[in-house]
Amino acid sequence: MKLRTLAFALAATMFAAPAVAKTKVVLWHAYRATEKKALEKVAADFNKSQGDVEVELVAIPYDAFGDKITAAIPRGKGPDLFIFAQDRLGDWAASQTIEAIDFWVTDETRDQFLEPTLEALTYDDQIYGLPMAFKTLALFYNKGLVKKAPTTTDELIAEAKKVTKGGKFGLVYENTSFWYQGTWLQGFGGAVFDKRGKPTLASPQVIDSMKFAQKLAHGSGVMPQEVTSTLVTSLFNQGKAAFVVNGPWFIGEIDKKVKWGVAPLPKIVDAGGKPARPFLTADGLMMSAKAKDKKAAFAVMTYFTGVDAAVTMATIGRQPTANKAAYANAKVKNDPVLAVFKKQLAVSRPTPNTPAMRMVWSPVTAAMNKIINQKADAASTMKATQDEVAKLVKTARR
Give the chain as a 3 state SS string.
CHHHHHHHHHHHHHHCCCCCCCEEEEEEECCCHHHHHHHHHHHHHHHHHCCCEEEEEEECCHHHHHHHHHHHHHHCCCCCEEEECHHHHHHHHHCCCECCCCCCCCHHHHHCECCCHHHHCEECCEECCEEEEEECCEEEEECCCCCCCCCEHHHHHHHHHHHCCCCCEEEECCCCCHHHHHHHHHHCCCCCECCCCCECCCCHHHHHHHHHHHHHHHHCCCCCCCCCHHHHHHHHHCCCEEEEEECHHHHHHCCCCCCEEEECCCEEHHHCCEECCCEEEEEEEEEECCCCCHHHHHHHHHHHCCHHHHHHHHHCCCCCECEHHHHHCHHHHCCHHHHHHHHHHCCCEECCCCHHHHHCHHHHHHHHHHHHHCCCCHHHHHHHHHHHHHHHHHHHHC
Among the listed residues 96, 89, 94, 97, the one whose alpha carbon sits nearest the alpha carbon of residue 70:
97
Per-residue pLDDT, 10: 47
Whole-number Å distance between alpha carbons of 358 and 355 = 6
Whole-number Å distance between alpha carbons of 270 and 208 = 9
Whole-number Å distance between alpha carbons of 282 and 269 = 29
Per-residue pLDDT, 396: 76
CA distances from 17 to 11, 12, 14 (A): 12, 10, 9
Per-residue pLDDT, 12: 52
Q: What is the pLDDT along the chain (398 residues), one digit of tens a residue?
A: 455 555 555 455 555 545 557 899 999 999 998 999 999 999 999 999 998 999 999 999 999 999 999 999 999 999 999 999 999 999 999 999 999 999 999 999 999 999 899 999 999 999 999 999 999 999 999 999 999 999 999 999 999 999 999 999 999 999 999 999 999 999 999 999 999 989 999 999 999 999 999 999 999 999 999 999 999 999 999 999 999 999 999 998 999 999 999 999 999 999 999 999 999 999 999 999 999 999 999 999 999 999 999 999 999 999 999 999 999 999 999 999 999 999 999 999 999 999 999 999 999 999 999 999 999 999 999 999 999 999 998 887 76
Burial (CB < 10 A; 0-12, 13-18, 19+), residue 314, is buried
Burial (CB < 10 A; 0-12, 13-18, 19+), residue 18, is exposed
* Structural contact between residues 93 and 100, judged by C-beta atoms closer than 8 angstroms: yes
Burial (CB < 10 A; 0-12, 13-18, 19+), residue 1, is exposed
Whole-number Å distance between alpha carbons of 381 and 367 = 6
Task: Using the Cα atoms of residue 24, residue 29, residue 33 and residue 37 in order, give the sign of their dihedral.
Answer: negative
Task: Using the Cα atoms of residue 366, residue 140, residue 351 and residue 346 in order, give the sign of their dihedral.
Answer: negative
**Count of residues making up the chain:** 398
